[in-house]
Structure 1
């Protein structure tokens, strides 16, 4: 595994897939400033790597992520705390803006900030025993790392209010039913399933994946008419690419396409 920055995040490279791995297992991968900086660097690295078509976000050890580091959070409530409060949003935008689809593998625990960490991912694979929810209202605050904005876009406003304002863990079966996660499996199988899901994505045309993600991400941000025009403009950009021709020729010839991202 290639270490990033301070070494609290690593990248495993596998053909057209990159695994971004939280590597602070002795602290249950809790996020401190070093780990968050490393995450930003890792996603910028994979985003800029031409051969990578899909990405996973995983946790080293038995747990995906325990949320924010409690020592860091205790310091944050001090009036003179020197904490970078814009760092977590930067992490989330780095994930969201990656050109490749990102698959989160969520095993055993992802409370509070860890829950919010998974929201900008494009797909979420959840362990059947995972503690997954937003607990902040029981801690004297509310989820303000994107939870109140990204979550309603995934599950609707009413269900998002239930998750945020009760402060309870979401049952994994319910999470799958409401579309919060894409699949539930045994916790011990989460990482492998996330990798397999990403590998399936990576078999598709890289420009199709990238442009499709860009169009989908714009769906809630602009009016329908502008969104349709944006979708068409992106599609026209691919009309004369090598991969577009290859996709049709391979289908007509009854063979697997060989995409190059051109």
Structure 2
């Protein structure tokens, strides 16, 4: 499914709490509830899931950013929604939020999230399935759930150790403190730290760099990397070779080598 016919236009999704801004080969997906600091309600989570499904299906999109409309990425889960749940094992925990995170994680294109001003608790967990994280220098970024009588269970205890190691993950989860941005960069949790007012533009610029590369190579490279921590080495190496062989007969493969030999910029078409 392609996006709307206007390839550089804005598209609201679902109830309007997420939107897609298409910019040539880059798609910017926004949390669009700025009056509530983009706090994640069930409706917002479902709209965001639908937005990622749409960009995943668009063959013209080569990279995706995840951004917050207004001054923050997200204040996290809507606290009133979480407080007023009738059943502890609600659809939010069991279905709606996990579906969003899996959708982000399995999006074909590389994803870049801009973390400005605030991304605590559930918003922190939302950033973990993204491939690249750009963090604001003054952002409130951490897993606070132990201070609220629970612990992060939207993937925080499982995805975070794979990014920073078990010891650092325990520190972040069990202290419930915000992570110092410079420390987050040193431990490999985020890829870049910059001024908060520059976060969105830096995320877009990073995504634009990715858009210059061959889209099929980006997709297969991401698939191989995502399998690395879940697959024994021998099977991982075979999977890597299989994905590489899929590219051997593509026009982009030939274009990449022809361009390098001719000392010109390649013109990749995803074919």
- TM-score class, shorter: over 0.9
- Within 1, Cα distance between the matches of 2:87 and 2:269? 53
Q: CA deviation at 1:81?
A: 8.5
Structure 1 stretches (4+) deviating beyond 2 angstroms?
78-85
Aligned to 1:167: 176
Q: 1:260 aligns with which of 245, 251, 269?
A: 269
Aligned to 1:192: 201
Q: Aligned residue pairs: how many? A: 261
- Within 2, Cα distance between the matches of 1:47 and 1:202? 14
> Does 2:161 match 1:152?
yes
Q: 1:107 aligns with which of 116, 127, 140?
A: 116
Question: Residues 24, 239 of structure 1: CA spacing in aligned structure 2 closer, same or farther, 3 A cutoff?
Answer: same
- Within 1, Cα distance between the matches of 2:238 and 2:157? 29
Query: Cα RMSD over matched residues?
Result: 1.1
Q: CA deviation at 1:75?
A: 1.6
Aligned to 1:47: 56
Question: Residues 83, 241 of structure 1: CA spacing in aligned structure 2 closer, same or farther, 3 A cutoff?
Answer: closer
- Within 2, Cα distance between the matches of 1:220 and 1:80? 31
Q: Calculate the TM-score normalised by the size of structure 1.
A: 0.98
Aligned to 1:181: 190
SS of structure 1 residue aligned to 2:30: strand
> Does 2:216 match 1:207?
yes
SS of structure 2 residue aligned to 1:132: strand
What is the CA deviation profile of residues 236-259 of structure 1, one whole-angstrom value per residue up to 9, with x for unaligned ones? 111111100100000000100000
Question: Residues 80, 137 of structure 1: CA spacing in aligned structure 2 closer, same or farther, 3 A cutoff?
Answer: closer
Q: 1:56 aligns with which of 45, 65, 68?
A: 65
Structure 2: gaps of 5 or more residues: 1-9
- Within 1, Cα distance between the matches of 2:42 and 2:267? 41
- Within 2, Cα distance between the matches of 1:110 and 1:195? 18
Q: 2:259 aligns with which of 244, 250, 253?
A: 250
Aligned to 2:44: 35
- Within 1, Cα distance between the matches of 2:134 and 2:149? 29
Q: CA deviation at 1:79?
A: 4.0
What is the CA deviation profile of residues 134-165 of structure 1, one whole-angstrom value per residue up to 9, with x for unaligned ones? 00011111000000000000000110011001
Question: Residues 73, 104 of structure 1: CA spacing in aligned structure 2 closer, same or farther, 3 A cutoff?
Answer: same
Question: Residues 210, 79 of structure 1: CA spacing in aligned structure 2 closer, same or farther, 3 A cutoff?
Answer: closer
Q: 1:90 aligns with which of 99, 108, 120?
A: 99
Q: CA deviation at 1:80?
A: 8.2
- Within 2, Cα distance between the matches of 1:70 and 1:84? 12
Q: 1:225 aligns with which of 229, 234, 237?
A: 234
8 Å contact from structure 1 (residues 65, 109) kept in 2: yes
8 Å contact from structure 1 (residues 75, 81) kept in 2: no
Question: Residues 247, 58 of structure 1: CA spacing in aligned structure 2 closer, same or farther, 3 A cutoff?
Answer: same
Q: Calculate the TM-score normalised by the size of structure 2.
A: 0.95
